[in-house]
Amino acid sequence: MVWMYSLQVVLFSLFLFGLALFSLRYAWWRFPVDYRRPRILMYHMVREPVSGARFNKLRVMPSRFERQIRWLYAHGWYFAFMSELNAPERLPRKTVCITFDDGYRDNFTHVHPILERYRARATLYLVADRLGRDWSTDKKAHHNTGELKREPKLTDDQIRQMLGSGHWQLGGHTMTHANLSRLDTKEKRQEILQAKRLLEKNFRTSLRSFAYPFGIYGKSDVGIVAEAGFETAVTTRNGISRDIPRERLELRRIKISGKDNMLAFRLKMRGG
């Protein structure tokens, strides 16, 4: 019966391996977070993946994005702008803030109609000088394929339509999607303050929230963001902030990946 014992060991090992893979992907073991804590979701693009591309995790398929928004709508989630987090105590239980970084054109062509369909709202963290730029190399030099540079970006007219619909709010994301850790204080202030002034002038709106490019920032950057008049700021640290007033300039977000199926999405909404 040695062969039977060996088979049991192999099967048990395969079970443990499968359980480990499942746990890594879905993080089912995370404790649920009270639904009175608003969830902030982080997206970049909503479009079909590109074969062999490096940044497909940033690309959520339109059909999958619509399923996510439909699920939120059907389960009674309140879609809030980031500016509403200034008074979190006034928000209903099960509040979600949808955020998009950078300013890709599919935010207009694919995301905007879905938001309208489900009466949802989102905050767009827009790079002011976004056309013709490949900011991925500012984080890692070997990300020099030009993949993000080739992605079509939003035009000013499209952004005006989005803002005019009432489904979008604008946030700051620097002039050039700068890696703030590589800049001196003067350059940081220029990137953050100039972008805020330019976007407010161009779109006749007030920017009240900011997103740190690449999620890279330091204490001095938080100070400049506060000085610029931003009331909230988001990071790329994954999770759900428990104390929004205390963390208001370093808020966590739930990263939504192009690889997330509905089970992964629902578990992220449950525990971050």
Per-residue pLDDT of the chain (272 residues; tens, 9 = 90+): 666 656 555 555 555 554 455 455 556 556 789 999 999 999 999 999 999 999 999 999 999 999 999 999 999 999 999 999 999 999 999 999 999 999 999 999 999 999 999 999 999 999 999 998 888 877 777 777 899 999 999 999 999 999 999 999 999 999 999 999 999 999 999 999 999 999 999 999 999 999 999 999 999 999 999 999 999 999 999 999 999 999 999 999 999 999 999 999 999 999 99
> For residue 244, what pLDDT is reported?
96
Return the half-sphere exposure (C-beta side, CA atoms, 13 A cut-off) of residue 11. Answer: 6
209 bridge partner residues? 232
- Residues 166-198 as b or e (16 or more Cβ within 10 Å = b): ebbbbbbbbbbbbbbeebeeeebbebbbebbee
Question: Which residues, in sequence order, are CB contacts of 94 under 8 Å at separation 6+?
Answer: 35, 75, 76, 77, 78
> For residue 11, what pLDDT is reported?
57
> Checking DSSP bridges between strand 209-211 and strand 78-79, what pairing results, if any?
unpaired
> For residue 151, what pLDDT is reported?
96
